[in-house]
Structure formats: C-alpha cells, structure tokens
Amino acid sequence: LNYHWQKMWAPTELVFSVSTDGVTYQDVYRQTSFPVNGINPVRASIAPVQARYVRVRGLNQGIIPAGEYGAGGKAWLLLDELLIK
C-alpha cells in the first residue's frame, strides 16, 4: 500500500524467496518499482519450483523524507493480501 498521506509507503524493494528446509533460501522474484499511489498489485510469474517455505521480504522506506506528510517520522510498510498458487 502506498498512501503517503497516511504515512504508508511502498517498499524500496520486494523479494520473494523459497526454501525446502526453512534455512537456505533462493530468491525467485525481485521488484524495486512501485509507481502507483494507492494499491500496488504485485503479480509475479515464477517458474514452478519445489518449496515448502516462502519468504516475502519488503525493505521499508525508513524515515519519511522532508516535504512529505509526517516528514522525519517512521514510514509504515503494510501488506494487504498474499495469495500463493
């Protein structure tokens, strides 16, 4: 979700990783652009792979930049829904 007026910022990076043992993970998808102000649907097409665990890692914006609502405060990073087929 990317609603700056509510201090919600899209991640600077989003990575999906998979693992068979929960210890060693392999990245299978990476996104660094979230252009829409609002809901940014992520529809990743990933080749079929054997996995028991899926890790979703989003890198938070951190501190809200000057000139934005809530400047100097911590940005919120939120995920609304996750569907894995």
**Tally of structural domains, the chain:** 1
Q: Note whether residue 4 is domain-resident.
A: no
Answer yes or no: is 74 within a domain. Answer: no
Q: Reply yes or no on whether the pLDDT at 36 is more than 80.
A: no
Answer whether residue 39 is part of any domain.
yes
Domain ranges, residue 24 = 11-59
Say what the pLDDT of residue 25 is: 98
What pLDDT score was predicted for residue 1? 81
Residue with the bigger pLDDT between 69 and 36: it is 69
Work out the average pLDDT over 31-49. 90
Query: Mean pLDDT across the chain, nearest whole number?
Result: 93
What local confidence, expressed as pLDDT, does residue 23 receive?
98
| Structure confidence by residue, pLDDT tens digits, 44-58 | 999 999 999 999 999
For residue 5, is it within any domain? Answer: no
Look-up: residue for tokens 């995920």?
A: 79
The DSSP annotation for the chain comes to -BBGGGTB---SEEEEEEESSSSS-EEEEEE-----SB-------------SEEEEEEE---BPPTTSTTTTSBPB---------
